C-alpha cells in the first residue's frame, strides 16, 4: 500500500440545500473535481445531501443508491478520497452513516454512535456500535460524526489512529464548545483532528458557524495552506511531525486502559 508522509486534506465548508440531495450533489461536484491533483481527501459536512433532516422515510438511501454511486464515480474521476455522512437504510434500520470512498473504489463506513436526542435524532435513527479506522495512503483515519465530539471515551486513541475526523452540522449557538472540544480531542489523543462544519441557515432556522479547522497533536489550530472555491480550506499534515512529538512526549505510555461495552 502506498504510504504518504504528507497528506493533503480539504474541508468542504459549504452551505446545504434543505432536503434536496440532487441539488447538493450538483453543487459539490465541480468543486470536488477542481481539487484533482491538489488534494488527497475531501471531507463533506454531516448529512451533506439533505441538511440535518430527520425525514428518514423520504431521504434515506441504500448503499447502492444514487449518492454512494456518485461518490464512487467522482472519487475515481478526481483521484480523491471523498468522505461525508448521509441517511442510509440498512436491514430495516436507518443510520447517520459516515461514508469514506477511495479512488480504488473501496468503501468504508461508520455509523454515528451518539445520536443527538435533543434534536430528535435518536427517535428516528439507530446508533452505531463499532469504531472505524480507515487505512488510506498509510494514514490511520478514525471516523466520527458531530455529537460524538462530546464523548472523549468513544474517541479515545492509544496510537491506533493518526487523524480523527469529525463531520458536523454544528450550530453557531455552541461555537465555543466546538472550538474547545476539537482542541481537547487532539491534545488528549496526540493526533491531528479535522473538524468540518457547514455554513448557512437551515429550514429549522438554525445558523451554522463553519469554522472548519485542522488541529495538530499539540492542540494548535493550523493555518490553512490553501483556500479553494466556496470557502473550502486545505491543509498539509505530516506524519513525521506528529510522530516526533509523540516520541518526545509519550503521554500514551501512562494512559489508563479500559474496555467500552
Catalytic residue among 61, 94, 121, 146: 146
- Catalytic annotation on 140? no
Domain segments of the chain: what residues? 6-252
- Catalytic annotation on 146? yes
Catalytic residue among 46, 61, 121, 211: 46
Catalytic residue among 61, 94, 112, 155: 112
Rounded to whole angstroms, the Cα distance separating 21 from 14 reads 14
* Set of cell numbers at residue 43: 471531507
Q: What is the pLDDT along the chain (261 residues), one digit of tens a residue?
A: 567 999 999 999 999 999 999 999 999 999 999 999 999 999 999 999 999 998 888 899 999 999 999 999 999 999 999 999 999 999 989 999 999 999 999 999 999 999 999 888 999 999 999 999 999 999 999 999 999 999 999 999 877 899 999 999 999 999 999 999 999 999 999 999 999 999 999 999 999 989 999 999 999 999 877 555 558 999 999 999 999 999 999 998 888 888 877
| Lookup result for grid cell 494548535 | 220
For domain 6-252, the CATH class is: alpha beta
> Are the C-beta atoms of 16 and 24 separated by less than 8 Å?
yes
| Lookup result for grid cell 465548508 | 13
Q: How far is CA 75 from the centre of its chain?
A: 16
Rounded to whole angstroms, the Cα distance separating 60 from 95 reads 8
- Catalytic annotation on 239? no
Closest alpha carbon to 227 in 6, 23, 31, 30: 31
Amino acid at each position: 500500500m502506498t504510504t504518504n508522509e504528507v497528506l493533503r486534506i480539504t474541508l468542504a465548508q459549504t452551505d446545504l440545500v434543505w432536503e434536496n440531495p440532487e441539488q447538493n450533489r450538483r453543487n459539490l461536484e465541480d468543486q470536488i473535481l477542481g481539487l484533482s491533483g491538489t488534494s488527497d481527501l475531501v471531507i463533506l459536512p454531516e448529512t451533506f445531501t439533505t441538511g440535518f433532516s430527520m425525514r428518514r422515510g423520504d431521504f434515506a438511501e441504500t448503499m447502492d443508491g444514487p449518492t454512494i454511486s456518485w461518490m464512487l464515480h467522482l472519487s475515481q474521476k478526481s483521484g480523491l478520497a471523498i468522505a461525508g455522512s448521509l441517511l442510509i437504510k440498512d436491514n430495516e434500520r436507518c443510520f447517520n452513516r459516515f461514508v469514506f470512498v477511495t479512488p480504488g473504489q473501496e468503501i468504508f463506513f461508520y455509523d454515528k454512535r451518539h445520536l443527538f436526542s435533543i434534536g430528535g435524532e435518536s427517535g428516528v435513527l439507530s446508533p452505531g456500535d463499532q469504531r472505524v479506522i480507515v487505512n488510506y495512503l498509510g494514514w490511520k483515519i478514525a471516523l466520527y460524526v458531530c455529537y460524538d465530539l462530546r464523548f472523549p471515551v468513544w474517541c479515545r486513541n492509544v496510537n491506533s489512529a493518526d487523524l480523527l475526523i469529525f463531520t458536523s452540522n454544528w450550530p453557531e449557538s455552541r461555537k465555543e464548545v466546538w472550538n474547545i472540544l476539537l482542541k481537547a480531542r487532539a491534545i488528549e489523543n496526540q493526533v491531528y483532528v479535522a473538524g468540518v462544519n457547514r455554513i448557512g441557515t437551515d429550514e429549522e432556522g438554525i445558523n451554522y458557524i463553519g469554522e472548519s479547522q485542522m488541529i495538530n497533536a499539540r492542540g494548535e489550530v493550523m493555518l490553512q495552506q490553501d483556500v479553494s472555491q466556496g470557502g473550502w480550506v486545505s491543509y498539509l499534515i505530516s506524519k513525521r511531525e506528529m510522530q516526533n512529538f509523540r516520541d518526545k512526549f509519550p503521554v500514551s505510555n501512562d494512559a489508563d486502559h479500559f474496555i467500552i461495552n
